[in-house]
Amino acid sequence: MIIRRAADRGVANFDWLNSHHTFSFGHYYDPRHMGFGPLRVINDDTVDAGAGFPPHGHADMEIVSYVVAGGLEHKDSIGSGSLILPGDVQRMSAGKGIRHSEYNTSKTERVRFLQIWVVPETKGIAPGYEQKHFFESAQDEGVLKLVGSRQGREGSITIHQDVDLYAARVKEEGASLNFDAREGRKVWVQMVNGELSLNGEVVKEGDGIAFEGAQTLHFGQAKNAEFLLFDMTGSY
């Protein structure tokens, strides 16, 4: 169990964007933090009202957007366009090449979202796009909800890699849940909001926690906690 504390992340500050980089990205480079398994990027981005990323290109990457607050407008060169809101999970397969833009459509409120990159199993696939809404009711709270997987299991979005992506919102104070990590797998937990105890360690917003091998992850003493869990192939 290795904890990557929020305060140790790379930071990029612009007039319109505040971004915290869990792994090396852009002008932030740390050879000790180049990714974990096929997980290559986790950027925690806050974009000012009316601002955003103009059209730019990507290739051979699975890019997942997870909006925490506000609304993010997406447009791309294959004709996809949508507004991504809290509770939505969006996947864009860059494949052999795609251009897209992302903007905060609000004139008054900031948008905060996690930009996640996963290295795909196969290069040169056709670009693609998928977006689904999760957390429909109170029954979706306090559980690990599968929101992304290789085969799109259980209504999750499809990620072209051996990765199961779970999201959890644990609002009830003191609530707990468990996850059994398997031998030969890597697990990354990314705290989005709040705090909880993870195998006896207190982790808070922005912290990332790495696990390898078979073990039980115990999440307890939650305080308005929200987090993502990546259960990934250990071959990278």
Tokens of 160: 């072209």
Answer yes or no: do 20 and 78 share one domain.
yes
Q: Over range 93-98, report the average pLDDT.
A: 96
Boundaries of domain holding 142: 138-233
Answer yes or no: do 92 and 196 share one domain.
no
Q: Is residue 2, in this structure, part of any structural domain at all?
A: no
Do the beta carbons of residue 142 and residue 183 sit within 8 Å? no
Local confidence band at 173 (pLDDT 50, 70, 90 cut-offs): confident
pTM for the predicted model, two decimal places: 0.96
Answer yes or no: do 120 and 39 share one domain.
yes
pLDDT for res 128: 95
Whether the predicted pLDDT of 138 surpasses 80: no
Answer yes or no: do 61 and 142 share one domain.
no
Q: Is residue 148, in this structure, part of any structural domain at all?
A: yes
Whether the predicted pLDDT of 172 surpasses 90: no
Answer yes or no: do 108 and 168 share one domain.
no
Local confidence band at 139 (pLDDT 50, 70, 90 cut-offs): confident
pLDDT for res 140: 85
Local confidence band at 21 (pLDDT 50, 70, 90 cut-offs): very high
